[in-house]
Amino acid sequence: MRFDIENWPIRDWLIKNWRKPVLYVFPEGLILLGALVYTHSHWLQNTLGAFADLYPYAVFGAGVLLGWRFHRSRLLFALLLMTVGDRTLAHFAAGNGLGRDHVVFQAISVLLPLNLAALALTAERGFVTPPGLVRLAIIGIQIAVVALFDRTMPGPTAALLHLRLLPPGLVRWTPLADPALLAFLVALGLQLAGQLMSPTSTQRSYLWAIAALFLGVNGLRPGNPDPMTFYLATACLILIAAVVEASYHMAYEDSLTGLPARRALNEALLRLGGHYTLAMADVDHFKNINDRHGHDVGDQVLKMVAAKLALVGGSGRAFRYGGEEFAVLFPGKSVEECLQELETLRQTVEETRFILRSRIRSRRKRAEPVVAEKGPGTRVPVTISIGVGEKDPRHTKPDQVVKAADRALYRAKEGGRNQVRT
């Protein structure tokens, strides 16, 4: 039996969705894996020893620069927390004054993950603004309280930080006491819950940063703070990578639909050297939908259409071009090879039930979205018109192909809408 892979229905789904699980581990997981390999390889440590000495300073400098330039106060606060924690623990470790029962070690191991989790769950509020100064004050109060209790009540404080909360057999492998372990579990649990409810690269980065912090405090040994410093610097690098990634998404992704934006399309067209087909799609009567039902409903229409476009077959890739206009790029395909996929796409949008629920609903129903694809309510007809152009001897430049597709789209509109024209 011979399988036709080109027409295998799941093939296009795999092509479009393989990135999703990868995004949960890249680049953060790769960065942490590199740190693990380095700290467990004597050869790498001997070869890159000079680099490792500069690594924390380089990360700190880059983090401060990016945090200031991109107005990422949470990154600046995370750098402050990591630096204070690292330098404090390194001070005690260098003097061989750090043991399992030391108040400072256990207190920092409790407070650092919880503070990082709190930062991840709060919004950007600035560094020298009133909310930022409140955060600074909270950090300062924590430092003062730990120092005060360590000096005045070391015994009771150590007893509190070493409460037996877990079976002894589960914690023999770590220098962390039970409250510190539970603090890490709570912090990781909060990040996992946040990532499941509202997945973002920033939320994900704090999850990996807390994991790096856990490896760091577990790797701290009296007289040798270097592994801990390396892991805490890696945690900061993970947060820096998230800022870079978020900036990329802001530049190249449409925030409403999640599709690649016009800039991404322009660069994709410039990279294509061979043959390709470009389709321009426009939501029919979109202004009427906005005027009659409001911009909230209009936004939901755009998101629904974008979701359908993202599933286009034939190795096509959808983009938000602007307003109610979208683009679908088919690398290496002719117009004839794409027409069936585009016609299927047009029919899919037309057949999708877009229900506008009543805004006067019971308290229990108010939690449901105003629009849906099923249930009672007023159906809002949504259709799209599509114009198709391709790179050929007459249209050799990207802007010429775009104009050809736009002219075809205009003919589709003039011809009655809800159709595909070339």
Domain match, 135 and 58 both: yes
Residue 102 lies in a domain: yes
Domain match, 197 and 283 both: no
Answer whether the bond into residue 130 is a cis peptide, omega within 30°.
Answer: no
Residue 257 lies in a domain: no
Specify the pLDDT at position 358: 54
- Residues assigned a catalytic role: 324
Residue 1 lies in a domain: no
Look at residue 165 and give its three-state secondary structure.
Answer: coil
Specify the pLDDT at position 360: 46
Domain match, 405 and 306 both: yes
Cα–Cα distance between 134 and 267 in angstroms, integer?
43
Which one, of 14, 12, 35, 381, lies nearest residue 241 by Cα? 35
Cα(first)–Cα(last) distance of the chain, in Å?
Answer: 38
Q: Give the gyration radius of the chain's Cα atoms.
A: 28
Residue 184 lies in a domain: yes
What are the start-end ranges of the H helices in 97-175? 103-121, 130-152, 154-161
Specify the pLDDT at position 165: 87
Domain count, the chain: 2
Domain match, 213 and 155 both: yes
Look at residue 390 and give its three-state secondary structure.
Answer: strand
- Per the confidence metrics, is the pTM higher than 0.85? no
Specify the pLDDT at position 22: 63
Domain boundary among 252, 270, 286: 252
Domain match, 23 and 165 both: yes
Residue 75 lies in a domain: yes
Q: List Cα–Cα distances, 73 to 60, 117, 228, 232, 233, in angstroms.
A: 14, 15, 24, 18, 18
Helix (H) or strand (E) holding 420: strand 420-421
> What's 368's domain CATH number?
3.30.70.270
The first and second tokens of residue 23, run together, are 């995004």
Residue 289 lies in a domain: yes
Cα–Cα distance between 73 and 66 in angstroms, integer?
10
Domain match, 201 and 140 both: yes
Three-class SS string for 362-387? CHHHHCCCCEECCCCCEECCCCEEEE
Domain boundary among 187, 221, 252: 252
Residue 5 lies in a domain: no
What is the rounded (10 degree) CA torsion for 116, 122, 123, 127?
-50
Domain match, 234 and 269 both: no
Q: Are 417 and 385 in contact (CB under 8 A)?
A: yes
Domain that holds residue 311: 262-421
Residue-by-residue DSSP string for 34-77: HHHHHHT-HHHHHHSHHHHHHHHHHHHHHHHHHHHHTT-HHHHH
Specify the pLDDT at position 402: 93
Domain match, 222 and 286 both: no
Q: Within a 13 Å sphere around the CA of 282, how many CA atoms are in the beta-carbon half?
A: 21
Residue carrying the six token digits 């106060």: 73
Domain boundary among 224, 252, 280: 252
The set of residues, in sequence order, having a beta carbon less than 8 Å from that of 223 and lying 6+ positions away, is 93, 94, 96
The first and second tokens of residue 234, run together, are 């890696």
Look at residue 109 and give its three-state secondary structure.
Answer: helix
Residue 349 lies in a domain: yes
Domain match, 118 and 24 both: yes
The first and second tokens of residue 402, run together, are 């775009």
pLDDT < 70: residue spans in the chain: 1-23, 95-101, 357-377
Domain match, 174 and 121 both: yes
Q: Are 331 and 312 in contact (CB under 8 A)?
A: no
In the chain, what is the greatest distance between 2 CA atoms, to the nearest angstrom? 85
Go through 224-239 and write b for each residue having 16 or more CB atoms within 10 A of its CB, e for each that does not: ebbbbbbbbbbbbbbb
Q: List Cα–Cα distances, 286 to 266, 301, 381, in angstroms.
A: 25, 9, 10
Encoded amino acid at 351, one letter: E
Helix (H) or strand (E) holding 356: strand 355-356
Specify the pLDDT at position 362: 45
Specify the pLDDT at position 212: 97
What number of residues does the chain have?
422
Domain match, 164 and 284 both: no
Domain match, 317 and 387 both: yes
CB burial of residue 101 (10 Å; 0-12, 13-18, 19+): middle
